[in-house]
Amino acid sequence: MNKKILSSGLIALVVFSLALAACAPAAAPAAEPTKAPEAAAAFAPMKVEAPNCDYGGEFKSIEAVDENTVKFTLCYSDPGFPSKVAFSAFGIQDKDYMDANAGDSVAMSEKPNGTGPYRLVEWKKGDSIIFEANPDYWGEKAKVKNLVFRWSDQSAQRYLELNSGTVDGIDNPAPEDIVKLKEDKNFTVYDRSPMNIFYIGFNNKIAPFDNEKVRQAFAQAIDRKRIVEQYYPEGSTVAENFVPDLFNPGFSKDIKWYSYDKDAAKKLLEDAGFDFNQEIKLSFRNVVRGYLPSPDKVAQELQGQLAEIGVKVKLNEMESATFIDATAAGQEGFYLLGWSADYPDSTNFYDYHFANENNKQFGALFPDIAEPIKAAGKISDTAERQKLYDKVNELLKTHVPMIPVAHGGSATVFKAKVEGAHASPLTNEIFAVMNNGADQLVWMQNGEPASLWCSDETDGETLRGCEAMYDSLLAYKVGGVEVEPSLAEKYTSNADATEYVFNLRKGVKFTNGAALDANDVVSSFAAQWDAKSPNHKGRTGTFEYFGSFFGSFLNAPEKSAE
Amino acid sequence: MAPKESKKKGQYERQSPARESFRRFLRHRSAQVGLGILLVLVLIAIFAPLLAPYNPTQILKNEKRRDVPCIHLLGCPADKNEHIMGVDGNSRDLFSRVLYGSRLSLQIGLITISFAILIGGLIGAFAGYVGGWVDNLLMRLMDVLMAFPSLLLAIAIVTVLGTGLINALLAIGIVSIPRFARLVRASVLSTKELDYVAASRALGASPIRLLFQRILPNSITPLIVQGTLGIATAILDAAALSFLGLGAEPPRPEWGLMLGEEKNSVFNAPHLVFFPGIAIMLTVLSFNLVGDGLRDALDPRLRGKPVA
């Protein structure tokens, strides 16, 4: 009898406390941002400036010239600058809203305030995100009234949902499902043009690869087409240049890599006095990357292909970090490595690899390759740059510091009736241009966004959500990498690409009603650039993309503090 | 000592213990099965180059990766090449690889256990015969080795020595030492007090002769049993190390490595893990059955009794 009372009392207590716990978080009141009355007041232009360029970053100053003009002064010339500022991590936020939230990405995700085609209705954490079309959008309004983001890390589940019709589009179908989907008339598969390169690297200081003829022979001994066909998903292409064909300037469409010819390769090796008895070490890490989906298989394939011309290869699987350090320090003679684009400009590929004294992965720099690369990084004329890159690609083929093998692809799948569906090489699909003829478009991706304000995000799953709600100064063409006007109607740069002036679009409104002005741009960039800015908070505080695009932060804390 | 003669004379039949044990072993049901499988395995290992249709490391450029098995007799179209166990993730013939794998696995088992018996036996014999602090020291050392789970210790040793088949063999050999050392020591301890040993010593036999001629032959029997069972464990350990990428390097046709390489395609291409897995199972099973049979056959207490 006593026990019964005790236990029922206990159960009641548990239920009560559960109910309390469930109700508690909902009670937190969200602070309503005050509508900014700034338009009426006189415009006080902002300017953030570095005292000098010794701090190691790209920006010298960011300045609001007038209400609708922003000027960036750079420490060195950068023809890739427009590509960089178009990136989704550099979306523009209302200055007052940012100040009110002290730059906290998590707080700003509660009530996202952007200028984009969609705005947030509700983020059901762990389940879905619902957006609605922004009626005040400055450009062409979104075609479908509601947009829903869902996610699952299981490719089988994404496929299942698409098949049963509960979602309109999915990301990254599994390679084995793609075949079925391509045959099915109800769906359309959109290959995502690859933005990466998988290459086989040589170090020209380590024997036998100090001999250019040996490197040229290896370049002809490897059947790259077979590797791509056998070990890469749909949408991948055989690499002819170091950069994918989307890169213009950068990709030389008339320059093709050596064709596969093992007899010629063997003869070339014999001419070069290659010792066929030696065992060559091929180093790699067994880490799956977009540019190399099955490293151990490809390594064995190469071993087999080289065995056909009598070259003995020993596979050397290394731990990931050790491998990266060893290649960068120039300790590996023959290795598998790749590169994924951070921003769609050729400088991101060529400069880091072939014109960078600190990078010893290919041994000593080839001065005749490094020189045109450096020259191309200092001019903004497209045709002139292309000429220099043509020269680079020709010389890469002669010197063979690496063998370009593949650009690894992926895909999206949409119901066939979805108009305007596409896959973006930068993984920022734009849903505003899609129309499925209903008032709701459901998209299923791999993971849940980490936040809904992306200045401090790196994950593509997160950035895609921000693309729908925010705009950057410039934008990438839908499904492409070319830069288009966005919040800035036009921009001009000086001859040596160290000064950029952006003219902002007029009449753009944020979700909270504030009008866009030049100070919003300055403050959005300054929040990332200036480590002492009160808004330099983000989500983790690392601002990784800013660092990799523009170098050091202004007022960065001393390194020794780590 | 002429059994044939005594047979003719119709007198009682006398058999040497070895012969009787052998007869008992052959009559042992599970030993028969184990011995049968083992015989087939050994034959496959010896004649692998004749049996295998392809070179186990050759990449077949015209075959589809992870293609399903194709057997002409079972209705596979004749214009496709025959691959009894299918094609692996690098377009190699799986059947040839499994056949060649038997060579590696048998070698691994025999080499590691021979190594372990040799080293472990010497340590055990020395410790048991000399006794005192030497015995204490050596046996505590063995206790320390035994305190680790064997696979973990093997992984630790491989990590220190570097990956590779030879190092994996060494690691497994080292891990197996204590078992044999204890076994030999125990039997030396009990034998060395027996009268015939004392007699031999009284006749002036040297310690070496005593140990190797009089005492050690007595521990052969348990060593054979323990060794056979040990081979099974060694093969399993080697497969586990290779599965983890610490043993045989690709493209060697090692069963554990073949499992490890294709573990992710277990749903798409189950045959790629099924056949190497079955091969490991059969090999380990055969050694275990043979070991069991040997134990029963060599047990003197069961002598003259019917076979189970």
Q: Do residues A57 and A554 lie in contact, with contact meaning Cβ atoms separated by under 8 Å?
A: yes
Q: Do residues A65 and A45 lie in contact, with contact meaning Cβ atoms separated by under 8 Å?
A: yes
**Of residues B61, B90, B249, nearest to A297 (C-beta):** B90
Closest-CA residue of chain B to A156: B267
Segment B133-144, tens digit of pLDDT: 999 999 999 999
Return the minimum-mean-pLDDT range out of A39-48, A465-474, B79-88. Answer: A39-48
Q: Do residues B261 and B89 lie in contact, with contact meaning Cβ atoms separated by under 8 Å?
A: yes
Is A304's CB within 8 Å of B58's CB? yes
Superfamily of domain A8-164+410-550: Periplasmic binding protein-like II (3.40.190.10)
In degrees to the nearest 10, what's the CA dihedral of B56, B61, B63, B67? 60
User: Which residues in chain A have Cβ-Cβ distances shorter than 8 Å to B90?
Assistant: 297, 300-301, 304
- Higher pLDDT among residues A248 and A309, named by residue: A309
Is B250's CB within 8 Å of A176's CB? no
User: Which residues in chain A have Cβ-Cβ distances shorter than 8 Å to B65?
Assistant: 230-231
pLDDT for residue A25 is more than 90: no
Closest CA to B92 of B273, B272, B279: B272
pLDDT for residue A17 is more than 80: no
Q: Do residues A346 and A247 lie in contact, with contact meaning Cβ atoms separated by under 8 Å?
A: yes
**Of residues A176, A301, A305, nearest to B268 (C-beta):** A176
C-alpha to C-alpha distance for A188 and A167, rounded to whole angstroms: 14
Q: B90 to chain A nearest CA, in Å? A: 6
Q: Label residue A358 by pLDDT band (50, 70, 90).
A: confident
Cβ within 8 Å of residue B152, ≥6 positions away: none
**Of residues B163, B245, B250, nearest to A300 (C-beta):** B250
Q: What one-character DSSP code corresponds to residue A128?
A: E
pLDDT at position A234, please?
76
Compute the average pLDDT of residues A218-228: 93
Q: Label residue A35 by pLDDT band (50, 70, 90).
A: very low
Q: Does B90 fall in a domain? A: no
Q: Does B13 fall in a domain? A: no
User: Which residues in chain A have Cβ-Cβ distances shorter than 8 Å to B261?
Assistant: 296-297
Mean pLDDT value across chain A: 87
* CB-count exposure of residue A264 (10 Å: 0-12, 13-18, 19+): middle
CATH number at residue B203: 1.10.3720.10
C-alpha to C-alpha distance for A64 and A519, rounded to whole angstroms: 6
A57, A59, A73 from A530: Cα distances, Å: 11, 10, 15
pLDDT at position A28, please?
42
pLDDT at position B232, please?
94
Cβ within 8 Å of residue A257, ≥6 positions away: A219, A224, A239, A240, A241, A397, A403, A404
pLDDT at position B110, please?
94
SS (H, E, C) B139-199: HHHHHHHHHCCHHHHHHHHHHHHCCCHHHHHHHHHHHHHHHHHHHHHHHHHHHCCCHHHHH
- Higher pLDDT among residues A4 and B173, named by residue: B173
Is B268's CB within 8 Å of A297's CB? no
Which site among B54, B57, B59 would you substitute to test the A interface, given the most A Cβ atoms closer than 10 Å to its Cβ?
Answer: B59
pLDDT for residue A32 is more than 70: no
Strand partners for A412 = A171, A190
Q: B45 to chain A nearest CA, in Å? A: 24
In which residue are the tokens 């003869």 written?
A267
Beta strands in A309-390 (DSSP E): 312-318, 334-340
Return the minimum-mean-pLDDT range out of A330-334, A409-413, B2-6, B282-286. Answer: B2-6
- Residue A54 CB neighbour total at 10 angstroms: 9
What six digits make up the tokens of B284?
């380990």
C-alpha to C-alpha distance for A46 and A364, rounded to whole angstroms: 46
Q: Which fold has domain A196-402?
A: Dipeptide-binding Protein; domain 3 (3.10.105)
- Higher pLDDT among residues A24 and B298, named by residue: B298
C-alpha to C-alpha distance for A329 and A322, rounded to whole angstroms: 10
pLDDT for residue A560 is more than 50: no
* CB-count exposure of residue B301 (10 Å: 0-12, 13-18, 19+): exposed
Return the minimum-mean-pLDDT range out of A515-529, A541-555, B96-110. Answer: A541-555
- Confirm whether A8-164+410-550 and A196-402 share one CATH topology: no
Is B90's CB within 8 Å of A314's CB? no
Q: Label residue A425 by pLDDT band (50, 70, 90).
A: confident
Give residue A227's identity as a one-letter amino acid code: I
What's chain B's length in residues?
A: 308
Q: Do residues B146 and B178 lie in contact, with contact meaning Cβ atoms separated by under 8 Å?
A: yes
Q: B112 to chain A nearest CA, in Å? A: 24
Closest CA to A228 of A238, A218, A219, A220: A238
Q: A262 to chain B nearest CA, in Å? A: 14
The dihedral through the CA atoms of B157, B162, B168, B170 has a sign that is: negative
C-alpha to C-alpha distance for B76 and B67, rounded to whole angstroms: 12
Q: Do residues B258 and B137 lie in contact, with contact meaning Cβ atoms separated by under 8 Å?
A: no
Closest CA to A331 of A314, A316, A351: A316
3-state helix, strand, coil split of chain B in percent (to 5) is 70, 0, 25
Segment A95-126, tens digit of pLDDT: 999 999 999 999 999 999 999 999 999 999 99
Segment A261-302, tens digit of pLDDT: 999 999 999 999 999 999 999 999 887 777 888 888 899 999
**What does the domain layout of chain A look like in residue ranges?**
8-164+410-550, 196-402
What six digits make up the tokens of A477?
């063409």
Q: Does B204 fall in a domain? A: yes
pLDDT for residue A15 is more than 80: no
User: Which residues in chain B have Cβ-Cβ distances shorter than 8 Å to A301?
Assistant: 59, 90
Coil, strand, or helix at residue B53? coil
Return the minimum-mean-pLDDT range out of A10-14, A41-45, A459-463, B215-219. Answer: A10-14
φ, ψ at B187 (rounded to 5°) = -75, -30
Q: Could you give the angle at which helices B271-298 and B220-243 cross, rounded to 10 degrees?
A: 170
Segment A190-209, tens digit of pLDDT: 988 888 999 999 999 998 99
**Of residues B90, B245, B268, nearest to A300 (C-beta):** B90
C-alpha to C-alpha distance for A89 and B48, rounded to whole angstroms: 60
C-alpha to C-alpha distance for B223 and B124, rounded to whole angstroms: 12
* CB-count exposure of residue A263 (10 Å: 0-12, 13-18, 19+): exposed
Number of domains in chain B: 1
Radius of gyration of chain A (CA): 27
Give the structural domain span for B209: 103-302
Segment A149-160, tens digit of pLDDT: 999 877 778 888
Q: Label residue A3 by pLDDT band (50, 70, 90).
A: low
User: Which residues in chain B have Cβ-Cβ distances shorter than 8 Å to A314?
Assistant: 249
Q: Does B43 fall in a domain? A: no
Closest CA to A373 of A358, A359, A387: A387
pLDDT for residue A386 is more than 70: yes
The number of helix segments (H) and strand segments (E) in chain B equals 13, 0
C-alpha to C-alpha distance for A22 and B290, rounded to whole angstroms: 63
Spans in chain B with pLDDT lower than 70: 1-14, 302-308
B98 Ramachandran zone, left/alpha/beta (phi>0; psi -120 to 50): alpha
**Of residues B61, B163, B250, nearest to A296 (C-beta):** B250
- Residue A42 CB neighbour total at 10 angstroms: 5
**Of residues A230, A296, A314, nearest to B65 (C-beta):** A230
A38, A67, A520, A533, A550 from A44: Cα distances, Å: 10, 9, 12, 18, 27
Q: Label residue A486 by pLDDT band (50, 70, 90).
A: very high
